[in-house]
Structure 1
Amino acid sequence: MNTDTTASVSTHILDTSVGRPAEGVAVRLSAKGVARPGSDAAWVALGGSRTDADGRCKDLPALPEGTTHVRLDFDTETYFTRPENTLKQAEAQQDAPRVRDSGAFFPEVAITFAVVPGEHYHVPLLLNPFGYSVYRGS
Structure 2
Amino acid sequence: MPGYLTTHVLDTARGTPAQGMEIVLYRLENGGRTELARLVTNADGRTDSQILPEADFTTGSYELEFHAGAWMDATGVAPESPRFLDVIPIRFGMSQDDHYHVPLLISPFGYSTYRGS
Match of residue 136 from structure 1: 115
Match of residue 25 from structure 1: 21
Contact 1:48–1:61 (8 Å) recurs in 2: no
| Partner-residue secondary structure (3-state), 1:56 | coil
Q: CA deviation at 1:41?
A: 4.4
Match of residue 12 from structure 2: 16
Distance 1:85-1:32 versus aligned 2 partners, 3 A rule: same
Distance 1:65-1:24 versus aligned 2 partners, 3 A rule: closer
4+ residue runs over 6 A deviation: none
What TM-score comes out, normalization by structure 1 length? 0.74
Letter in structure 2 aligned against 1:85:
G
Match of residue 125 from structure 1: 104
Match of residue 85 from structure 1: 76
Match of residue 69 from structure 1: 61
CA distance in 2, matches of 1:21, 1:65: 26
Match of residue 56 from structure 1: 46
Q: CA deviation at 1:62?
A: 3.0
Q: CA deviation at 1:66?
A: 4.2
Give unpaired runs (5+ residues) of structure 2.
none
CA distance in 1, matches of 2:80, 2:88: 19
| Partner-residue secondary structure (3-state), 2:65 | strand
Letter in structure 2 aligned against 1:18:
R
The share of aligned pairs that are identical, in percent, is: 34
Q: CA deviation at 1:116?
A: 1.5
Larger radius of gyration: 1
Contact 1:32–1:41 (8 Å) recurs in 2: yes
Aligned residues, how many?
A: 115
| More strand per residue | 2
- Give a deviation string over 1:79-137, Cα, whole Å, max 9, x none: 1112x432xxxxxxxxxxxx433252110110010112311110110000001000110
Give unpaired runs (5+ residues) of structure 1.
34-39, 87-98
What TM-score comes out, normalization by structure 2 length? 0.86
CA distance in 2, matches of 1:11, 1:65: 15
